[in-house]
Structure 1
Amino acid sequence: MNFPVVQARLAEPDVARIERAAAYVEAHDTDDVLAELLPGLAPAERADVARHLVFDHTAVLVFPDSLDGLREELCRLGLEPGNVTPSVVVRDRLTRRYGPALADLPVGIVHVAVGTRSVEIFALPVAPDSALEAVAADEREAEHESHHAFAVTAPGPVVPAGLRLLLQERGGAVPDGGGYNGHENVTVLYHRTATHRRFELRLPGRHDPLPDPTAALLGVMTGAWATQAVATMAELNIADHLADHPGLDADTLADLTATHPDALRRLLRYLTSLGLLTSADGTYHLTATGQPLRTGTEFSLHPLAQLYGGPFYDSFTGLTHAVRTGEEAFAHRHGQHHFAYFAQHPELGSLFHRAMAASAEMFAPVPTLIDFSAVKRVVDVGGGNGALLARLLRTHAHLEGVLFERPGALEEARAHLPERCSFVAGDFTQSVPEGGDVYLLSRVLHDWDDDRCLAILRRCAEAMHPGTQLLLVERLLPTPTAVAWDVHMLCNVGGRERDEAHYGRLLAEAGFEVRACHGLPLGASLVEAVRAPV
């Protein structure tokens, strides 16, 4: 075959990348690619997702010296390219990454057929010895634009929206921009996986609103405003008023809360946008998300909202100090650890213990999750106000309890625990009461570094006979809840969240054997361990 004069040339690294992409497309189907990109999806979820989308192509960005003759160059390499068209989305992404100098440069796109799929080749022309060679080198190294693409086969906006939600919440994908390409009449939605891989969803036609990374960042940056809005809602007892009288208007709520009507109306509008309220015809109702801010309910988060909007909110202004030094920001701002500080400020100490009890929903399954039939005595080590211990004693009338805590915490707990519970003051890094059949460590270890955790676990082990059970309640990484709380622990407490393997190593070093791990509400987990034979 005689080829016309070719103007464009591709460097060997780019040719090799195209060949690797073609080999990948040929060897993988939709389920293969989903399993590789999103291992968090269960097989049944992958199968359901695959009913609505199909693996379409793999994309690479290459750097010919010109777009003229690019198609002929690809033919010369033995490939079967289509026509070269402009790529608006990738040009915009490159402009955001490297500056406005790239805004007027042409970026081509051409598909090379590989069976029923293709390799999508983006091409940014880079003349020899031009300043863009640095861009080409960076892109070849980082592979910013390389990705796998799925064509969404379901028409309309509903199924694509559901797919995006599933891929993000269950698959762990994060939106990574996108846009509409009028040359192909397709909307592309980029995502990034937990392992830094990229994929795109291709939706026929124009879909609005398109992802806006800047708007998404602004949403994250203003999260502090939401924290304060929720804290104000709690302080004004708005949830209680709306629970007692659904459908109140802003003026009536202003009278009940002694607030400025217009200012309150603006707060209510913001709370509605956050999903805590609904509004219609000037009246307001609580949503399921707003309900936990009611007071006097079993799992009220009212005190937690005040704590997170109060002293713990203030200390987050010192997060940069904590990240730079590894020291807790709370102590940096207040001169001492929050336990000591709250002990000197009884109103904050009371708020802290009530806030910890507010998360007691995570304990609800424990009494029936574990077999306590042969247990007589349960020792709660550092159990705060005894929320978990109280639940066990209420459920199992034959149990006796021991709450081992600081004196101030014991005073807070006495009103919540039955008579068959005894109270022992002490320091669990020094000693732990003996004679228990089951020991509880509920949200204790995450307050401390590894050395202090080992000291606590060893004191527990010294008090236990071989085979005695230890129940550990913590949030386990890498769940999103634990990831957020880990930064909170760094900033406010000086401790950390850990993954299951990390706790397993600490337990083993202290003389325990892990037997099981169970999921609990509110992103918590229950780790079962027993004292190993001596």
Structure 2
Amino acid sequence: MITTLSGDTSRLLATVDFVKEQDTATLLPLLLPGLDGPELRTLAEHCRFAHAALLVFPSDEAELRTMLDDCGLVAALPPRPSVVVRERLAVRHRRPAAVLDVGILRPAVVGADGERRMVEVFALTVPPGSGLDPIAAHEREQQHETHVAFEVAAPDPLVLRGLCATFARHGATPDGGGYNPHENGTVFYFTAPAEAKVGYRRVELYVPGDHRDMLAAHLDEHRARQPAETLLRLLTGAWTTQALAAFTQLRIPDALDGERGVGVEELAREVGARPRNLATLLRYVAMLGGVTEGRDGFRLTALGALLRTDAPGSMRALALMYGGPFYESFAGLAHTVRTGEVAFEHLFGENHFDHFARDPELAELFDRSMAAGSAMFDPVPTHPVLTAAAETPAGATVVDVAGGNGELLGRILAAHPRLHGILLERPHAVEAARLRLEEAGHGTRCAFLAGDFADVPEGGDVYVLSRVLHDWDDERCREILRHCARAMPDHADLLVVERVLPSDGSVSLATAWDLHMMCNVGGRERHADHYAALFADAGLALVDRAGLPLDGNVLHVRKARSGPAGPCGGRPGNPG
């Protein structure tokens, strides 16, 4: 009896035969013509032929099982979600990722050399009447996802860079990639050179673990060759902001954890949402890395856990602020660029400080959002200036000017039990800071002063301005700095925490925040020499600068002294 195999089954069977017949040493020269003996040996030492892959289109799980059985393949069903291929298909066919049910299976195959390899089967489920048949027809013809893969044996960054460089030297070009949180693995795709002597046009390097730092440069090179795809990804940035904001507003992170999966129906009842719509949102958040999806439902990732109410270093307030008032005002960015008027003021009729101060809930949200980026503060308490102040026999006083809810001052006092603090803020913020610091056990070592910049108290040993100057134009900054200089004794130090614009135009969060400050606050980020000039105008001098997380900086400033300027605008003999 002769059995006629379906088109997808025939393609899968051909892939199985290829995997059985090939090995690392013979396949590499076919893919990269020109590989000489030493380079070939080096590549073969650090990576091995692991699998060949193709995309098939079953109508349901039963058809997929039949296909595998016909090819002698054994794999556990259902397949795991394939984040990378689903995203590639969504972009290529301009479809929402949520409507593409793409799974991945890796049944084992033993090669002619006795080596155990796999056939990687991507399965896009195409139910009758789903409207996905044109995608299946196009993909069968173009074979975009068909590839051969090599697994890197030791995921050392130097080895990985060398492998990528060797591929490039022999004509392979970056063709995308991604990180799959479901299996904690990173893939680097390449297009094989035109001279390749094998039917596969795409090559994958699979690296166990999270290597998104190196992947970023690989993707940048790929996107430079794909301007339309790059632009489309950039234009959907607003969707990401609102998806994370909605995820937070519905308190979905609070209803999930990283241990137990929760089904959509159960989760929908708990958060008060429509199951189908919630599933669509969760699949998008899964693509962003906020949740993972398994057989038992959705679990929270470490990224998503940052949006929980009770998480250490919670960024919940930041998501609500950026997805709320600041999101609304960013729609007026063109108005700001055209007229110079702050978009927030144009939309709400007043500056954001006054607007938030009149709404207690919004004011609290803003103060908590300011603390949400507290990872920037981690190294500040160990700054040499604060360490030296803490060693003063009589004890020293740290004055936090416009210190918000006391997040930074609390960290400083916790790190140095002999220090005392003074926090200057607006009345409502002072009370929030008082409660916070008293709960942390620092209330007896801290005084709280309600007022404005003109009320900076005299006699402190260390003054702190954290993310204050970027709120204001140059003239207001000079005024604030003069108030600080007036209050500072000659021996006092000033620590200014800000993001500093890179002088070489390199990628930095400071550049993004410069746009945000212009549009929503009326302030700006600045270069280091710009800050140095503002300090000098106030009778101060920049002594030193140190990097902080999240592209932050701490600028060490002292009162200027007569004599020739020292390094960074400081004066000879200044400590630090």
TM-score range, shorter chain: 0.5 to 0.7
Query: Root-mean-square deviation (CA), in Å?
Result: 3.3
**What is the match of residue 11 of structure 2?**
none
Give the one of 472, 479, 504 matched to 1:448. 472
Matched-pair contact (CA < 8 Å) for 2:546–2:554 = yes
**What is the match of residue 328 of structure 2?**
314
Asked if 1:528 is matched to 2:541, the reply is no
Give the one of 429, 432, 436 matched to 1:416. 436
The one-letter amino acid paired with 2:167 is A
The one-letter amino acid paired with 1:395 is A
**What is the match of residue 51 of structure 2?**
none
Aligned ranges for residues 286-297 of structure 1 at < 5 Å?
A: 286-297=300-311
Report the CA distance between 1:384 and its aligned residue: 1.0
Matched-pair contact (CA < 8 Å) for 1:437–1:468 = yes
Moved more, 450-459 or 271-280: 271-280
Give the one of 492, 495, 498 matched to 1:468. 492
Aligned ranges for residues 113-512 of structure 1 at < 5 Å?
A: 152-154=165-167, 182=194, 211-243=225-257, 246-281=260-295, 283-370=297-384, 371=387, 372=389, 373-374=391-392, 376-417=396-437, 418-428=443-453, 430-478=454-502, 479-512=507-540
Counterparts of 2:455 and 2:168, CA distance in 1: 65
Matched-pair contact (CA < 8 Å) for 1:331–1:338 = yes
The one-letter amino acid paired with 2:554 is L
1:268-323 C-alpha deviation (Å, 9 max, x unpaired): 01001112122223622222322211222221000110010111111111111111
Counterparts of 2:242 and 2:452, CA distance in 1: 35
The one-letter amino acid paired with 1:454 is R
Matched-pair contact (CA < 8 Å) for 2:173–2:192 = no
Counterparts of 1:309 and 1:243, CA distance in 2: 23
The one-letter amino acid paired with 2:253 is A
Counterparts of 1:425 and 1:391, CA distance in 2: 21
Instruction: Find the residue that maps to 1:513 and give its secondary structure.
Output: strand
The one-letter amino acid paired with 2:444 is E
Give the unaligned 5+ runs of structure 2: 1-45, 47-163, 179-189, 203-216, 438-442, 563-576
Counterparts of 1:397 and 1:468, CA distance in 2: 19
Matched-pair contact (CA < 8 Å) for 1:466–1:533 = no
1:497-519 C-alpha deviation (Å, 9 max, x unpaired): 11212111111221222222111
Matched-pair contact (CA < 8 Å) for 1:386–1:413 = yes
Name the CA shift for 1:179/1:154 in 2 (closer, same or farther; >3 Å). Answer: closer
1:426-448 C-alpha deviation (Å, 9 max, x unpaired): 221x3411010000000000000
1:233-272 C-alpha deviation (Å, 9 max, x unpaired): 1112222222275311212211211110000000001001
**What is the match of residue 76 of structure 2?**
none
Matched-pair contact (CA < 8 Å) for 1:179–1:210 = no
1:120-152 C-alpha deviation (Å, 9 max, x unpaired): xxxxxxxxxxxxxxxxxxxxxxxxxxxxxxx94
Matched-pair contact (CA < 8 Å) for 1:328–1:491 = yes
Instruction: Find the residue that maps to 1:460 and give its secondary structure.
Output: helix
The one-letter amino acid paired with 1:153 is T
Matched-pair contact (CA < 8 Å) for 2:289–2:303 = yes
Counterparts of 1:209 and 1:163, CA distance in 2: 8
Superposition TM-score, scaled by structure 1 size: 0.62
Name the CA shift for 1:386/1:221 in 2 (closer, same or farther; >3 Å). Answer: same
Aligned ranges for residues 55-134 of structure 1 at < 5 Å?
A: none
Counterparts of 1:312 and 1:379, CA distance in 2: 30
Counterparts of 2:294 and 2:225, CA distance in 1: 28
1:315-361 C-alpha deviation (Å, 9 max, x unpaired): 11111111112221000111100000011111100100011111112
Name the CA shift for 1:421/1:494 in 2 (closer, same or farther; >3 Å). Answer: same
Instruction: Find the residue that maps to 1:422 and give its secondary structure.
Output: strand
Counterparts of 2:304 and 2:261, CA distance in 1: 14
Superposition TM-score, scaled by structure 2 size: 0.57
